[in-house]
Structure 1
Amino acid sequence: MGAMTEKLITYTAEQVAETLTPKLCRETLEAALKSDFDPADDPARTGTNVGTGELLTMPSALGDWAGCKLATVAPNNPDKGLPLINALYCIFDRETLRPYAVLDGSVLTAVRTPAMSAVAVDYLSAKDAKRCVIFGTGLQAEHHAYAMAEVRDLEDIAIIGRSEDSSTKLAEKLAEKGLPARAGSREDIPEADIIVCCTSAKEPLFKGDLVRDGACVVAMGSHTPDARELPGCLIGRSLVAVEAKHTALAEAGDVIIPIDDGKCHKDDLVTMKQVVTGAVSRATDRPNVFKGTGMSWQDIAAAAAVVEKLR
């Protein structure tokens, strides 16, 4: 049973960060996918334009807990030196629906998103994968580097940002943490075992024929129907896994646009639950793509892991 309390508990960003390690979060999400829970039953995210950006609500229930994330996306914030995404998470005892705690939702998101990508990479990349390319230089790119290094013994992490300076800065930061990171370029793509896209790009970041068969590509930077990081030809020739079909077909431009263009069919999509439970195996004769948009069940799973560890 989820615990009840008379006083609402607040867990700070520091507490969430210290408790929700990449390993704990990845194992928590993987366990949820292996359980009786099906992401196909998860409610859709709702978004409201508030003029300066978007307010997102993401409710879900899992195990002994129910909860909801309130997140904001403010496109002008980075120019002001402020985070693009801010969030709070409220978790409730599922039986009584009494509020139990409020958690910093930004850290929760920063950890659970790459943890979900790491689950996908652990199943969809070769076990001896060594070379990784990461597009992006922001918080998600940084955390994805840590997450990838958790599941594979990487020998090379090439960072590709909008500028060589931003790529070098993130590479140096990762190198200080002991990761084999450097500033890279699109010339690194053909040799990459893992390619991770963590950008705000609206158009494809690279040509699809650069990706070799058996490689694993993660695209998680967009969650709108008109934006994509990957070219349609890559989606058309790949095994494509999504968190849930209803979410992908509503939010993921990376699959919506190729489907509309006739490059692939919605029935070709597989789910991460099928992958994790062994119903679908990684491809070796074509690329493997995981398109993630983020789902509410991931937040409640991560928040519950924090609460159960700290209470």
Structure 2
Amino acid sequence: MTPAEAARAIERVLLDGLDPEAAPARSAVPVPAGELLLMPAASHRYVGVKIAGVAPANPAVGLPRITGSYLLLDGPTLQPLALLDGVALTSLRTPAVTAVALDRLAVPQAAHLVLFGSGPQAYGHLDALLAIRPLTRVTVVARSEQPAEALARYARARGVAGAVGTPADVADADLVVCCTTARTPLFDGALVPDHAAVAAVGSHEVDAREVDEVLVGRSALYVEARAVALREAGDLLMAGVTGADTLWNLAELVNGEAPVPTGRPRFFKSVGMAWQDLAVAAETYRREAG
């Protein structure tokens, strides 16, 4: 499945009436190596559950930080249908969700992406945004120079002017995407232009954030679901956001119910939800099963 096809799968379930606010909650279980996440979701036709592990020590020994598997079941009978690679699924669906949001939040002429991070999600987000936007320039900001330059080379191979930059480059951005493991803000939110759209996907913890309270305070705010954002989105909670009345959810954005002002930044905060995994896993299965 291509990034564009994954984005269409996400859009389709929202246009068909899925209510993100009613989706089952994620369960997080502390384990010695880190955290185990259990993410169930159901529709009439399919049921699925992702078991994901977050192992912070893994990269130091050459292993992925995120692990996992996805079990897809038949909805009416609950018989197993498929076992999918949970990491591959996450690497596809998270950028697809961001692409769906930013396709509606970006100004039509958006061409310069400032991308924080250099891991799998950064590559996935670049591919997903190239599928929906005619980007001409990508600036990569990362902790380590070699991975950052490797991603910039990848961008150039995709036909985009790619370069390594600094956090200050957000001042010249049309789009800003943060997909890192940072626990403190990556840049000064006052530098972001009023016309820019920003997405942060790196954490689902109340004490971790990639953007500061300045950006949150300046921005129109969008989330996958208000309930889960007010429970898990440190970027918003640490900036003092406590009320649902300041947030628009992804279904409202996709269905054209959410306003999209252009006189101030638009900020989309994603924490990842199980219905997104089910949407992409079910579409993958349908294609394979014919």
Task: Tell me the TM-score normalized by structure 2.
Answer: 0.97
CA contact (8 A) 1:157 1:181 kept: yes
1:8-38 alpha-carbon deviations (Å, 9 max, x no partner): xxxxxxxxxxxx2101100010111111210
| Structure 1 runs, 4 residues or longer, greater than 3 Å off | none
The structural deviation recorded for 1:127 is: 1.5
Asked if residue 310 in structure 1 is aligned to residue 288 in structure 2, the reply is yes
Q: 2:224 aligns with which of 243, 248, 259?
A: 243
CA contact (8 A) 1:128 1:152 kept: no
Matches within 5 A, 1:262-273: 265-273=243-251
Q: Distance in 2 between matches of 1:164 and 1:175?
A: 16
Aligned length: 289
Gaps of 5+ in 2: none
Correspondence for 1:45? 26
Correspondence for 2:7? 26
Q: Distance in 2 between matches of 1:198 and 1:80?
A: 21
**For residue 305 of structure 1, what is the amino acid of its counterpart?**
E
Q: Distance in 2 between matches of 1:63 and 1:109?
A: 22
Correspondence for 1:295? 273
Range 32-41 or range 152-161, more displaced = 32-41
Q: 1:97 aligns with which of 73, 78, 81?
A: 78
1:144-184 alpha-carbon deviations (Å, 9 max, x no partner): 11111111111100000003332112211332233332112
* Shift in CA distance, 294/252, structure 1 to aligned 2, threshold 3 Å: same
Q: Distance in 1 between matches of 2:51 and 2:18?
A: 23
Q: Distance in 2 between matches of 1:62 and 1:87?
A: 22
Q: RMSD of aligned C-alpha atoms? A: 1.2
CA contact (8 A) 2:42 2:278 kept: yes
Q: Distance in 2 between matches of 1:173 and 1:215?
A: 24
Correspondence for 1:206? 187
**Which secondary structure does the structure 2 equivalent of 1:258 belong to?**
coil
Q: 1:138 aligns with which of 112, 119, 122?
A: 119
**Which secondary structure does the structure 2 equivalent of 1:153 belong to?**
coil
Matches within 5 A, 1:97-136: 97-136=78-117
The structural deviation recorded for 1:245 is: 0.8
Correspondence for 1:177? 158
**For residue 163 of structure 1, what is the amino acid of its counterpart?**
S
CA contact (8 A) 1:259 1:266 kept: no
CA contact (8 A) 1:259 1:265 kept: no
**Which secondary structure does the structure 1 equivalent of 2:222 belong to?**
strand
Matches within 5 A, 1:182-197: 182-197=163-178
CA contact (8 A) 1:125 1:282 kept: no
**For residue 270 of structure 1, what is the amino acid of its counterpart?**
W
The structural deviation recorded for 1:63 is: 4.3
Asked if residue 159 in structure 1 is aligned to residue 137 in structure 2, the reply is no
Range 180-189 or range 287-296, more displaced = 180-189
The structural deviation recorded for 1:265 is: 4.1
The structural deviation recorded for 1:40 is: 0.6
Identity of aligned residues (%): 42
**Which secondary structure does the structure 1 equivalent of 2:91 belong to?**
helix
**For residue 254 of structure 2, what is the amino acid of its counterpart?**
V
**For residue 148 of structure 2, what is the amino acid of its counterpart?**
S
The structural deviation recorded for 1:292 is: 0.2
**Which secondary structure does the structure 2 equivalent of 1:259 belong to?**
coil
Q: Distance in 2 between matches of 1:305 and 1:173?
A: 28
Asked if residue 75 in structure 1 is aligned to residue 53 in structure 2, the reply is no
Q: Distance in 2 between matches of 1:308 and 1:180?
A: 37
Correspondence for 2:35? 54
**For residue 286 of structure 2, what is the amino acid of its counterpart?**
E
Q: Distance in 2 between matches of 1:28 and 1:180?
A: 29
